[in-house]
Structure 1
Amino acid sequence: MRLLSSLLRSFVKRGKMSVYDADGQLHDFGSGDDGPTVTIRLHDKKLYRSLFFNPELAAGEAYMDGTLTLEGGSTIYDFMFLFSINRAPLGANPVQGLLRRFWRAFRRRQQRNNVERSKEQARHHYDLSTDLYRLFLDEGLNYSCAYYTGPDETLEQAQADKLSHLVAKLDLKPGMSVLEIGGGWGSLAIRMAQAGASVTSLNVSPEQVKIAEERVRAAGVEDKVTFVLKDYREFEGQFDRVISVGMMEHVGIGHLDAYFGKIRQCLTEDGYAVVHSVGRMTPPGTTGPFIRKYIFPGGYVPALSEVFASTERLGLWVCDTEILRLHYYYTIRDWRLRFEERRDEALKLYDESFCRMWEFYLCAVELGFLHGSNMVFQLLLSKKRDAVPIIRDFIVDNERKLDGPG
């Protein structure tokens, strides 16, 4: 316990952490000022060492297997909140700093996402039961950042506003062709088809495509939407517009040029692309070990410096950039609360360990957008400097047309 105690003394500067060790002895860290008080119990002495050397991964795994439990009314959200507001002291710890440098050195190796590996990694997450996602997503099964006009807007409205915002940026005209890279469960494809576009949607998840095809038929736009079970690198064709929402995070740092190169290749000379992705406002980094191992293997949230370096190498115009800072925090907050409300239903689909994993994941990413460096960016990209209207008014004008009066 001595090693772990030394870490927690230097780590907990805000709030207070009370820890019952495996022998039942209580240890307190922090003054309780400017933060929550959280009580945990460690049931295995092996945790002392693993938490010291890799606290994020070890804490997540211990919560999953029940060797770390919360007591005294504390929740996993409280625990993660305390962790998130004390990230700076943790990063200053020499051992943690060394560990981050090690991860950084091997990040390209961790993200060697060839076509087949990328498919396996995507299916690891997206081929889970759709019934799981129905527990916490909106009715349209939008699994990406919504567009909130305020923190109290409903998730359903914010996701509908997100679709309108994206379609408005596409500036679609009747009969235009659109390539969607990463189609999810089909909501955006349906919205684009309803706006008059002919949509080809790429997806590597058979489970998602099956549901998306059902939803497209129910919406009556099956003649305008085609789903293709291919990785973006396997596809050829040219389109008036390309759109990619929540996909670039899965590409991997060593494949940004291939991704943007494919977008460039698939655009007509007068066309342009809309790219929506999670990013970071800090310099390039690494993917957290828990997220990398259990949730999004091969995933990486890029810095804008990495994104723009790639578009520069490929000769793409960045015609517009919009940064959504708190929108994903509100989105994941709503997902987490819905999952908590329906946790008993999730337990019927999967086991207790899975539900704890999902709780840890949702808490971690929510707080990453509240206290960490994560944000979302939307880019408009083109081959030609004049492919996109020269002022942004067209976006708001199109949104008003799409949403109608009121």
Structure 2
Amino acid sequence: MTPASLAPSRPVTRAVPLWDSVGAAPRAPARARIAERLFRHAVNTLPVRVALAGGQRLGAGGPSSPLMRVHRPEAFFHRLGVDAKIGFGESYMVGDRTSPDPAELLTPFAERLARLVPRPLQALRRWVDAAKPGSEHNTAGDARRNVEHHYDLSNDVFTSFLDVIMTYSAGLFRPGTRDLAQAQRDKIDHVLDLADVGTGTRMLEIGTGWASLALRAAERGAHVTTLTLSAEQLHLARQRIEAAGLSDRVDARLCDYRQAEGRYDAVVSVEMIEAVGGEYWSEHFRTLDRLLLPGGRAAVQAITTPHDRMLATRDSYTWIHKYIFPGGQLPSLPAIEHEVRAHTDLIPAERFSFGPGYAETLRQWRGRFLDRWDETAALGFSDTFRRMWEFSLAYSEAGFRADYLDVWQLGFEKPTGGSAVEPEASRALSRGD
């Protein structure tokens, strides 16, 4: 039984959604002129082509380089001038600019992201960046609303582009693997191996998704409690658990991780830490520590960004925050290691990175989403939504292609008694092995 057959399509019924409320470009002539000069300076050092309406060409790229077409230059530069971190994405949403392959175009930008704005002007960030709204701080109430913003769009939207087992995180593409579903199964088994999940394991999962990991853990003999804040995800997850005949082994709950109770042999969290917000990273890891039995193991899969970029952008409010993941913040690997060392007794045991696998995962998701767009449009979603989602997937793919982003699976052990003693070094598995 397929996920789609378990969750029949339902038309979208909501007030005018945020993505359809993007209006005409705001007017800011002075800032637009500055933004245009900065943009021209940046692209003229990049291996890209920019075609402005009217025939002007920018960029240092040759005939085969990635192409950006700017159909409405005045609107484009005004959006950049008012707020470049939001306006650049909005310009794609409304069609001010287009690209035949936005991921290929964005990759050179991502490779040079720290240098696109001249260093003297970077010091002005605190005065020109938009402030984060209060809802970005992920209190218990705001966390629920932030999750609903993304995951309660419609299960059918996600069914349109995810693999057959409905896994919404990086696939692990081993040498020779091309099939996305197989890459996801391999990823799930790898993270369950890190947590030593097998027959009789009492496992907690923080972040249910659509229950793919919980179902696999139950197939391996575990008894699973899995938590989500998305009512839509919970509905489909419970259907899938029942259809698999595993209701006696998997208990799916609508619950904030901070309210979780009990003690477990294993705790698994896959791409959840990015959603909790930087001010709650310590609480996230303290929760893992609190819920683990002595001798237990935790496994965390996390998207990471370089530490210097994390520090430089941690207070920024971006297009991704506004339209895709409100309240989100990517950690760096040093930040995770600090939080674990400072706030828990957990001992780092293993770590494994596979960023190129995420680039391939996102490439396949974007292709599937566009190939099946007619099905999503039939649910009531607009072309603005299509361009928003396409840009989000392409933007993320470019980050991984450029090594600006990475994804790690991290294993931790809970000491059997006394205080944790930090080992000389955690065992680092080589990329892609």
Structure 1 length normalisation: TM-score? Answer: 0.86
1:368 to partner: Cα distance: 0.7
- Quote the residue 1:341 is aligned against: 371
1:260 aligns with 2:285: yes
Closer/same/farther in 2, CA of residues 270 and 18 from structure 1, 3 Å limit: closer
1:44 to partner: Cα distance: 6.5
1:26 aligns with 2:51: no
Give 3-state SS (helix, strand or coil) of 2:46's partner. Answer: coil
Give the counterpart letter for 2:169 in structure 1: S
Aligned match of 1:384 in 415, 420, 427? 415
- Quote the residue 1:69 is aligned against: 97
Closer/same/farther in 2, CA of residues 108 and 127 from structure 1, 3 Å limit: closer
Superposed CA deviations along residues 272-291 of structure 1, whole A, max 9, x for unmatched, are 21111111233334367111
1:308 aligns with 2:337: yes
Q: Which moved more, 1:277-286 or 1:360-369?
A: 277-286
Q: Which moved more, 1:172-181 or 1:214-223?
A: 172-181
Closer/same/farther in 2, CA of residues 96 and 47 from structure 1, 3 Å limit: farther
1:175 to partner: Cα distance: 1.9
Q: Is the CA contact (8 Å cut-off) linking 2:234 and 2:252 kept in structure 1? A: yes
- Quote the residue 1:399 is aligned against: none
Closer/same/farther in 2, CA of residues 163 and 184 from structure 1, 3 Å limit: same
Give the counterpart letter for 1:343 in structure 2: W
Superposed CA deviations along residues 341-385 of structure 1, whole A, max 9, x for unmatched, are 122222222111111100110000010111142111111123317
1:51 to partner: Cα distance: 1.5
Q: Is the CA contact (8 Å cut-off) linking 2:299 and 2:410 kept in structure 1? A: yes
Q: Which moved more, 1:253-262 or 1:378-387?
A: 378-387
- Quote the residue 1:179 is aligned against: 204
Structure 2 length normalisation: TM-score? Answer: 0.81
Q: Partners in 2 of 1:367 and 1:322 — Cα distance?
A: 21
- Quote the residue 2:326 is aligned against: 297
Give the counterpart letter for 1:141 in structure 2: M
Q: Partners in 1 of 2:144 and 2:216 — Cα distance?
A: 26
Q: Which runs of 5+ in 1 are unaligned?
A: 396-406
Q: Is the CA contact (8 Å cut-off) linking 1:108 and 1:254 kept in structure 2? A: no
Give the counterpart letter for 2:414 in structure 1: K
Closer/same/farther in 2, CA of residues 250 and 102 from structure 1, 3 Å limit: farther
1:109 to partner: Cα distance: 6.5
Aligned match of 1:120 in 145, 159, 179? 145
Q: Is the CA contact (8 Å cut-off) linking 2:150 and 2:324 kept in structure 1? A: yes
Superposed CA deviations along residues 18-44 of structure 1, whole A, max 9, x for unmatched, are 343xxx533322232497252423436
Q: Partners in 2 of 1:312 and 1:35 — Cα distance?
A: 48
- Quote the residue 2:12 is aligned against: none
Q: Which moved more, 1:230-239 or 1:95-104?
A: 95-104
1:83 aligns with 2:109: yes
**Percent identity of equivalent pairs:** 32
1:369 aligns with 2:395: no
Give matches, 1:4-153, under 5 Å. 4-12=35-43, 13-20=45-52, 24-33=53-62, 36-43=65-72, 45-52=74-81, 54-66=83-95, 68-70=96-98, 74-92=100-118, 94-95=120-121, 98-99=124-125, 111-150=136-175, 153=178
1:185 to partner: Cα distance: 0.2
Give the counterpart letter for 1:321 in structure 2: R
Closer/same/farther in 2, CA of residues 159 and 268 from structure 1, 3 Å limit: same
1:84 to partner: Cα distance: 3.1
1:168 to partner: Cα distance: 1.9
Q: Is the CA contact (8 Å cut-off) linking 1:90 and 1:96 kept in structure 2? A: no
Q: Partners in 2 of 1:217 and 1:60 — Cα distance?
A: 40
Superposed CA deviations along residues 123-144 of structure 1, whole A, max 9, x for unmatched, are 1111111111111110111001
Q: Partners in 2 of 1:51 and 1:151 — Cα distance?
A: 42
Closer/same/farther in 2, CA of residues 325 and 108 from structure 1, 3 Å limit: farther
1:11 to partner: Cα distance: 0.4
Q: Partners in 2 of 1:108 and 1:267 — Cα distance?
A: 34
Give 3-state SS (helix, strand or coil) of 1:320's partner. Answer: strand
- Quote the residue 2:26 is aligned against: none
Q: Partners in 2 of 1:165 and 1:119 — Cα distance?
A: 29
Q: Is the CA contact (8 Å cut-off) linking 2:86 and 2:319 kept in structure 1? A: yes
Give the counterpart letter for 1:61 in structure 2: E
Superposed CA deviations along residues 255-274 of structure 1, whole A, max 9, x for unmatched, are 11111111111011121211
Q: Partners in 1 of 2:355 and 2:127 — Cα distance?
A: 27
Give 3-state SS (helix, strand or coil) of 1:136's partner. Answer: coil
Q: Is the CA contact (8 Å cut-off) linking 1:276 and 1:378 kept in structure 2? A: yes
Q: Partners in 2 of 1:378 and 1:76 — Cα distance?
A: 28
Q: Is the CA contact (8 Å cut-off) linking 1:316 and 1:383 kept in structure 2? A: yes
Q: Which moved more, 1:28-37 or 1:326-335?
A: 28-37
Aligned match of 1:162 in 187, 192, 215? 187
Q: Partners in 2 of 1:3 and 1:144 — Cα distance?
A: 38
Supply the RMSD in Å over aligned alpha carbons. Answer: 2.9
Q: Partners in 2 of 1:293 and 1:237 — Cα distance?
A: 35
Q: Is the CA contact (8 Å cut-off) linking 1:178 and 1:241 kept in structure 2? A: yes
Give the counterpart letter for 2:69 in structure 1: I
Closer/same/farther in 2, CA of residues 216 and 142 from structure 1, 3 Å limit: same
Q: Is the CA contact (8 Å cut-off) linking 1:170 and 1:273 kept in structure 2? A: yes
Q: Which runs of 5+ in 2 are unaligned?
A: 1-31
Q: Partners in 2 of 1:110 and 1:328 — Cα distance?
A: 28
Q: Which moved more, 1:34-43 or 1:257-266?
A: 34-43
Q: Which moved more, 1:31-40 or 1:195-204?
A: 31-40
Q: Is the CA contact (8 Å cut-off) linking 1:242 and 1:274 kept in structure 2? A: yes
1:191 aligns with 2:191: no
- Quote the residue 1:222 is aligned against: 247
Q: Which moved more, 1:323-332 or 1:250-259?
A: 323-332
Q: Is the CA contact (8 Å cut-off) linking 2:129 and 2:317 kept in structure 1? A: no
Closer/same/farther in 2, CA of residues 293 and 118 from structure 1, 3 Å limit: same
Closer/same/farther in 2, CA of residues 263 and 101 from structure 1, 3 Å limit: farther
Q: Is the CA contact (8 Å cut-off) linking 2:294 and 2:416 kept in structure 1? A: no
Q: Is the CA contact (8 Å cut-off) linking 1:134 and 1:141 kept in structure 2? A: yes
- Quote the residue 2:29 is aligned against: none
